[in-house]
Amino acid sequence: MKGDIGVIGLAVMGQNLILNMNDHGFKVVAYNRTVSKVEEFIQGPAKGTNIIGANSMQDLVDKLDSPRKVMLMVRAGDVVDHFIDQLVPLLDEGDIIIDGGNSNYPDTNRRVAGLKEKGIHFVGTGVSGGEEGARFGPSIMPGGAPEAWPHVKLIFQAISAKTESGEACCDWVGKDGAGHFVKMVHNGIEYGDMQLISEAYHFLKEGLSLSHQEMQAIFEEWKSTELDSYLIDITADILGYKDEDGNPLVEKILDTAGQKGTGKWTGINALDLGIPLTLITESVFARCLSSLKDQRIEAEQLFNKTISPIQGDKKVWIEAVRQALLASKIISYAQGFMLIREASEENDWALNYGNVALMWRGGCIIRSAFLGNIRDAYENNPDIQFLGSDPYFKDILVDSLPAWRKVAAKALEIGLPMPTMTSALTFLDGYTTSRLPANMIQAQRDYFGAHTYERVDKPLGEFFHTNWTGTGGNTSSTTYDV
Ligand code: NBP
């Protein structure tokens, strides 16, 4: 009997996905560039399973049922193109190549189009949940050639995470690179969630001088609120984890955050599409700032920086931090979905926003109860432009505002950096202001560059130029850049 699917790449993600597929009754053929790893896998973690090893690309292809499905779980970038180039001459029309790595979605757009010309269906799929997700149920976000979906649906939905009501955290996202795009935004949101939690921890630790035991208890408590999520859960664990000497391990970890690029891609994409994705972008910059460790040490001394502890009822402050965290998180997701909507319209992807929330509901790093509410919001109104205007989220934002302002103002007052919670608040303040001071910017642009402006007392689309100094002339600039 031939294999149902081939997987190339036997690092942590590939091995675990293969074992997961095997658990669900699929016959998987495994291959890796360093071929010795195939045998190690077959004799090691795959021993006693139905998994078959392949000793070459030809062997892999020969062992698969038609239409062949070959999934790449290799390092993103050129390596993916390299394997595609090797596979194409070995495959037949109608066969399917799946890239399950963290590829940048424009690369997936290119690969879908290029392979279509050769009669090969290409799927670019986000896979989230890390090692454990891959093994026991990841969130899977496939997109690309729609012809491939009926052939991979059964496998993907079987191995994916399930919601409490049994729905698969995997559905067809859309054509081209839509799957990898949605995975990219997922990772951006993950950056935002992690930065928000770090800011809450900083406020509790430096502002309120709480112990790790107290902070652990707080995060444990937050798990039974709207904040219930995987990241809150692991934060509680991290705060309680002691090093060999009995002190919290987290305080021994160097405070420079790494990144692999998906947050940056999300920020760049938002700038390209003109979407105010302030929170995620701030969280990328926060990681950049964290990496300037030597400069920060020097500057702290130069400015004689100290953070004075906050006075007042700690219980009240803790609840205020919880509300600020929740409200900021709503803004982050609202901005993320604004980006998804814009990209969907721009690329004609017809994305189903409720389904995107469902795919993130389980299995992935940002999994949370909250995503169920987002799904409900889009089920109630698929055209919602700003998630914060959904009644459930609007009520939370309105209720949280006083506490959120209090926490943000206090952080600014005592010099505690809080880039994402404050930028989220500023975003909401901007978004809910019908007249912003952009009229001044337009006046300045017209003053120095004759860029023209529209008037509130004239129909939109009519542009005016003023000779502000009396010496600048009446000729306006030919390009009007929004
Ligand atoms: P890696 O990203 O470390 O990739 C390892 C695989 O790539 C191995 O099969 C390796 O072969 C192959 N490879 C490399 Br590296 N360079 C190669 C080259 N020049 N030519 C051919 N093959 C090459 O593995 P991973 O951490 O399992 O991740 C796989 C994909 O899944 C990545 O795109 C990653 O971004 C994505 N992802 C990872 C996670 C996670 O938590 N790790 C989560 C979600 C998504 P070799 O054995 O011969 O060196």
Phi, psi of 47 (to 5 degrees): -60, 135
Contact 284, 264 (CB under 8 A): yes
Treating both helix axes as pointing N-terminal to C-terminal, what angle do 419-431 and 314-347 enclose, rounded to 10 degrees? 60
* CA–centroid distance, residue 76 to ligand 1 (Å): 7
The rounded distance, in Å, linking the Cα atoms of 454 and 445 is 12
Whether 63 is a known active-site residue: answer: no
Whether residue 13 has its Cβ less than 6 Å from ligand 1: yes
**CATH number for the domain running over 438-479:** 1.20.5.320
Q: Which residues of 377-409 are buried (b: 16+ CB within 10 A; e: fewer)?
A: bbeeeeebebbbebeebeebbeebbebbbbbbe
The rounded distance, in Å, linking the Cα atoms of 55 and 156 is 25
Whether residue 12 has its Cβ less than 6 Å from ligand 1: yes
Whether 27 is a known active-site residue: answer: no
Whether residue 79 has its Cβ less than 6 Å from ligand 1: yes
Centroid of chain to Cα 246:
35
- Out of 37, 183, 329, 410, the active site residue is 183
Which residue ranges does the chain devote to CATH 1.20.5.320? 438-479
Q: What is the pLDDT of residue 476?
A: 79
Q: What is the pLDDT of residue 80?
A: 98
The rounded distance, in Å, linking the Cα atoms of 162 and 182 is 18
Whether residue 125 has its Cβ less than 6 Å from ligand 1: no
Q: Which amino acid is at 166?
A: G
**Ligand 1, atom 1: nearest CA belongs to which residue?**
75
Print pLDDT tens along the chain (482 aa). Answer: 899 999 999 999 999 999 999 999 999 999 999 999 999 999 999 999 999 999 999 999 999 999 999 999 999 999 999 999 999 999 999 999 999 999 999 999 999 999 999 999 999 999 999 999 999 999 999 999 999 999 999 999 999 999 989 999 999 999 999 999 999 999 999 999 999 999 999 999 999 999 999 999 999 999 999 999 999 999 999 999 999 999 999 999 999 999 988 999 999 999 999 999 999 999 999 999 999 999 999 999 999 999 999 999 999 999 999 999 999 999 999 999 999 999 999 999 999 999 999 999 999 999 998 999 999 999 999 999 999 999 999 999 999 999 999 999 999 999 999 999 999 999 999 999 999 999 999 999 999 999 999 999 999 999 999 999 988 777 877 654 54
Contact 404, 425 (CB under 8 A): yes
* CA–centroid distance, residue 315 to ligand 1 (Å): 46
Which residue ranges does the chain devote to CATH 3.40.50.720? 5-176
The residues that bridge with 127 in the sheet, in sequence order, are 140
- In the chain, what is the greatest distance between 2 CA atoms, to the nearest angstrom? 87
Whether residue 77 has its Cβ less than 6 Å from ligand 1: no
Q: To which CATH superfamily is domain 5-176 assigned?
A: NAD(P)-binding Rossmann-like Domain (3.40.50.720)
Q: What is the pLDDT of residue 481?
A: 52
Q: What is the pLDDT of residue 478?
A: 67
CA angle 69, 72, 75 (to 5 degrees): 175
- What CATH number does domain 184-431 carry, 3.30.1370.60, 3.40.50.970, 2.60.40.10, 1.10.1040.10? 1.10.1040.10
* CA–centroid distance, residue 82 to ligand 1 (Å): 13
**Ligand 1, atom 20: nearest CA belongs to which residue?**
79
Q: Is the pTM of this model over 0.85?
A: yes
The rounded distance, in Å, linking the Cα atoms of 265 and 273 is 12
